[in-house]
Structure 1
């Protein structure tokens, strides 16, 4: 009985607080010029004491709403795509800022909006975002069959493979991180690979990766040992729900234990197979005899 009364009291307090918020919002709307302009359209044509008309204030309010909406979109998109560096935030901000400016130009004058839209497209085509051009040791696979063949060719080699698409922002953000990791950890028996599931969807189907535009599995990084999958990111929980994973350098190192993996591979280098060595010796002897 006591719990029920306490619960009812809490609901009443919450209801009162909600009503206060609604009342404050309505009061704040009453003191704005936008309210009077909506109630009395003829007031929009009257001069304002400080030199501003109500129509200009309404226009300014609309522009502010668009800019605040831009800010919200930037925050949500950068969080969704896993943007964790300042460059990623700036890239997203500049892109959505251009879109917001395009809307504002159309809102002010449709002719100016068309001109800005043309310039927007031209600059995007002539000056695209620069791609990573630093050191990397990555093998690019063309088909799922090619990847499987390489995995089975020598099972002593450990592979870390990225399944990606060129149009996905998360894949674009992760590309330089993976390239730097490949240059740092590559060994004869520890290799890094990539395959574009946008161009080769059979690879996505084979390894159970959703390659649609709404996919949360792009990029997917899989570690192969002995020709078989050991672990992947993002992974699914016991209920089959994907666990959110941010593809930062530190997260990838920790999730795949790259430091330990590198030490193990370095301590056990590849030894040339006996048959291959004998064949090479026979070829050299035959070459000497022929001379």
Structure 2
């Protein structure tokens, strides 16, 4: 039996239903026709965060960061590299807590960078502090 997955488009936020067997076959959005998985973290705002959190059937890893944070800046390319390794089985996203303070408050972010892993709309793991790409991938795979 081929199970279907709901995946939110990183470009237009449309919810797409794709067969799980085609998850790694470069599926495209039914609405905007762009790739559902680009191997890059997406920038989320308060306006689209909840849709990605609640409507993605794949695990959802969020980097809560701020532009003034030195460790956040050092981790950014590592997080981008991890996205290339983890997609299409995990969606990676970034939330700028300076621009979106409500999201930082809602999830009780006390230090940055903080990685929060969500599954089925619920937080399942959290890790504070900068990490290298291999550590991000290893930690994430160990949680899912």
Q: Per-residue displacement from partner, 1:205-247 (whole Å, max 9, x unpaired)?
A: 000013xxxxxx111101111111000112xxxxxxxxxx441
Aligned to 1:184: 85
- Looking at structure 2, the residues matched to 137 and 205 of structure 1 have their Cα atoms a distance apart, in angstroms, of 25
Alignment of 1:146 with 2:48, yes or no, is: yes
List 4+ stretches of structure 1 deviating above 4 A.
none
Q: Which has the larger share of strand? A: 2
**Relative to 1, partners in 2 of residues 1:257 and 1:190: Cα closer, same or farther, differing over 3 Å?**
closer
Structure 2 length normalisation: TM-score? 0.66
Shift of 1:148: 1.8
Instruction: Give the conservation status (yes or no) of the 8 Å contact 2:71–2:130.
Output: no
- Looking at structure 2, the residues matched to 171 and 246 of structure 1 have their Cα atoms a distance apart, in angstroms, of 7
Aligned to 1:69: none
Unmatched runs of 5 consecutive residues or more in structure 1: 1-134, 211-216, 235-244, 262-291
CA root-mean-square deviation? 2.0
SS across alignment from 2:67: coil
Instruction: Give the conservation status (yes or no) of the 8 Å contact 2:74–2:130.
Output: no
Aligned to 1:158: 59
SS across alignment from 1:230: strand
Aligned to 1:197: 97
Aligned to 1:221: 115
Which of 1 and 2 has greater Rg?
1
Instruction: Give the conservation status (yes or no) of the 8 Å contact 2:44–2:95.
Output: yes
Instruction: Give the conservation status (yes or no) of the 8 Å contact 2:82–2:134.
Output: no
- Looking at structure 2, the residues matched to 246 and 172 of structure 1 have their Cα atoms a distance apart, in angstroms, of 9
Instruction: Give the conservation status (yes or no) of the 8 Å contact 2:62–2:95.
Output: yes
Number of equivalences: 107
Aligned to 1:171: 72
1:1-291 to 2 correspondences below 5 Å: 136-143=39-46, 145-154=47-56, 156-187=57-88, 189-210=89-110, 217-234=111-128, 245-257=129-141, 261=144
Q: Which has the larger share of helix? A: 1
